[in-house]
C-alpha cells in the first residue's frame, strides 16, 4: 500500500504544473564537441565557464555537455560538418581547417593587419557584416583569434626570412600556406593534433602556429628553436551552433544565450589565448637547451613588405568567387 501511495504521489507531482495551470518548462541538454584535450586552456577557461553561464542565465533550462578530444568523432577538419549535420549541437573549430567555407574570415589571418590579438578581435566584430555570409548555415556563438604566431623548428634556427628557404613548415590554413610560400618555405596544412608526430618524425621541419599551442600540444618536446617577433599573424576560431538546435530553444532562452556570447565571449577567448601564449614563451625560455630568439623590427617589417602582392592576390581570389575582397581587406585594415 505504501509503495502504491508513493507512486501515486510521484505521478501527481509530475502532473502538478498541468493541474495548476503553471507552464511546463522543457529542459534541453546541448552537446559541445571539440577535438582538444581536457587540459587545453579553451576547455578549462572558456568552454566550461560558458557551460556554467548557460545553465545560470537559463535557470537550468538549458545545459551544455562538453565532449573533448574528439569524443563525438575523430578529425578536427570535420568539426564544421558536425555542427551542420547536428552530430553536435555546438562545435569548436578553426576556419582554416575548411578554408573554402570561410574565405571572408580568413582574410584576417594575413600578417600585419593588426597590432595585437585584442585589436584583431575588436576589428573583426566591428566589421562582422563583411564576413557574416561565411556563417549563413549556422548560429554564431563566437569568432575569435589566438596569440600571435611563432615559428617552432626542429633543427634550423630562424633569424631571418632567408632561413625559411627550403624548409617544410606547417600552416594553419590556406592563407597561412600562401604567407609561408611568399617567405620562401614549403607549406603544408594540417590540424594541430597531427603536428607532434609530423615534427618528431621529420615530415615537417617546423610549424607556424600561435604560441599558446606550445604546451597544449607538447610542441616543446619535438622542437628546439622558437622565433618570436614575426609580423603579427593570428589564427581564427569559431564556436558555432546547429541552426535547428538553436531554433528549438524558446525566444527567451535565445535572448539569454545571446547575452553571454557573441563579441563578449569572443574577447574572453582571445584573452585566454593571449595569456597562454605569454606563458608559453616563459616556459620555453626556461626549457633546458631550448633556443628562443626574436626577429628584429626591421626583419619583421621586411617580411610584411614581401607580402604586398599577396594582399592583392587574396582580394582577387575572392572577387573571382563573387566576393568583394577589397572591401573586406579595407575594412580590416581601417581599424
Q: For the chain, which residues make up each domain, given as ranges?
A: 26-145+236-276, 149-234+285-333
Provide mean pLDDT across the span 62-90.
97
Under the banding of pLDDT at 50, 70 and 90, the label for residue 335 is low
Among residues 126, 88, 122, 130, the alpha carbon closest in space to that of 105 is found at: 130
Sheet holding 62-67, edge to edge: 62-67, 28-33, 90-94, 236-242, 138-145
Round to whole Å and give the CA distance between 249 and 311.
41
C-alpha cell at 54: 548557460
CA gyration radius, the chain? 23
- Position of cell 615537417? 204
Of the listed ranges 24-28, 50-54, 73-77, 322-326, the least confidently predicted one is 24-28
pLDDT of residue 229: 93
Three-class SS state of 42: helix
Q: What are phi and psi of 221, to 5 degrees?
A: -80, -20
Residue 329's alpha-carbon distances to 100, 110, 280, in angstroms, are 17, 9, 31
Tell which CATH architecture fits domain 149-234+285-333. 3-Layer(aba) Sandwich (3.40)
Please report the pLDDT score of residue 177 as a whole number: 95
pLDDT at 26: 55
255-271 confidence digits (pLDDT tens): 999 999 999 999 999 99
The model's pTM is: 0.88
Reported as half-sphere exposure (CB side, CA atoms, 13 A), residue 121 has a value of 26
Q: Is the pLDDT of residue 100 over 70?
A: yes
Residue 333 C-alpha cell reads as 585594415
- Kindly list the distances between the CA atom of residue 2 and the CA atoms of 7, 8, 11, 14, 35, in Å, as whole numbers in the listed order: 9, 10, 14, 19, 50
For 143-202, what is each residue's pLDDT tens digit?
999 998 999 999 999 999 999 999 999 999 999 999 999 999 999 999 999 999 999 999
pLDDT value, residue 333 = 85
**For position 232, what pLDDT does the model report?**
86
Vertex 55 angle, CA 51 and 56, to 5°:
115
Considering only CA atoms, which of 243, 193, 250, 237 is closest in space to residue 83? 243
What was the pLDDT predicted at 225? 98
The pLDDT of residue 25 is above 80: no
Of 85, 24, 58, 13, whose CA–CA distance to 254 is shortest? 58
Hunting for cell 581599424 — which residue is that?
A: 335
Pairing of strands 149-153, 28-33: unpaired
Is it true that 26-145+236-276 and 149-234+285-333 share their CATH fold? yes
Domain 26-145+236-276, CATH class in plain words: alpha beta
Amino acid at each position: 500500500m505504501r509503495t502504491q501511495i508513493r507512486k501515486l504521489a510521484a505521478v501527481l507531482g509530475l502532473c502538478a504544473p498541468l493541474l495548476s495551470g503553471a507552464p511546463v518548462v522543457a529542459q534541453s541538454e546541448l552537446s559541445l564537441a571539440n577535438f582538444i584535450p581536457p587540459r587545453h586552456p579553451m576547455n578549462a577557461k572558456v568552454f566550461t565557464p560558458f557551460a556554467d553561464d548557460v545553465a545560470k542565465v537559463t535557470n537550468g533550462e538549458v545545459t551544455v555537455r562538453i565532449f573533448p578530444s574528439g569524443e563525438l568523432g575523430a578529425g578536427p577538419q570535420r568539426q564544421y560538418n558536425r555542427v551542420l549535420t547536428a552530430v553536435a549541437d555546438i562545435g569548436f573549430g578553426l576556419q582554416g581547417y575548411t578554408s573554402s567555407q570561410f574565405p571572408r574570415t580568413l582574410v584576417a589571418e594575413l600578417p600585419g593587419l593588426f597590432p595585437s590579438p585584442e585589436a584583431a578581435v575588436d576589428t573583426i566584430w566591428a566589421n562582422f557584416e563583411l564576413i557574416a555570409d561565411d556563417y549563413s548555415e549556422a548560429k554564431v556563438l563566437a569568432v575569435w583569434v589566438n596569440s600571435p604566431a611563432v615559428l617552432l623548428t626542429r633543427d634550423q634556427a630562424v633569424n631571418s626570412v632567408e632561413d625559411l628557404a627550403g624548409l617544410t613548415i606547417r600552416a594553419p590554413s590556406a592563407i597561412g600556406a600562401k604567407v609561408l610560400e611568399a617567405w620562401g618555405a614549403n607549406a603544408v596544412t594540417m590540424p594541430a593534433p597531427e603536428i607532434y608526430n609530423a615534427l618528431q618524425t621529420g615530415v615537417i621541419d617546423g610549424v607556424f602556429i600561435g604560441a599558446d599551442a606550445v604546451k597544449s600540444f607538447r610542441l616543446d618536446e619535438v622542437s628546439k628553436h622558437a622565433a618570436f617577433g614575426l609580423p603579427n599573424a593570428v589564427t581564427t576560431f569559431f564556436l558555432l551552433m546547429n541552426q535547428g538546435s538553436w531554433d528549438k530553444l524558446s525566444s527567451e532562452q535565445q535572448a539569454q544565450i545571446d547575452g553571454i556570447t557573441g563579441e563578449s565571449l569572443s574577447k574572453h577567448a582571445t584573452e585566454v589565448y593571449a595569456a597562454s601564449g605569454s606563458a608559453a614563451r616563459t616556459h620555453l625560455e626556461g626549457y633546458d637547451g631550448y633556443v628562443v630568439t626574436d626577429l628584429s623590427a626591421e626583419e619583421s617589417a621586411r617580411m610584411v613588405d614581401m607580402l604586398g602582392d599577396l594582399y592583392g592576390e587574396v582580394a582577387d581570389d575572392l572577387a573571382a568567387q563573387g566576393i568583394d575582397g577589397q572591401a573586406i581587406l579595407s575594412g580590416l585594415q581601417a581599424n
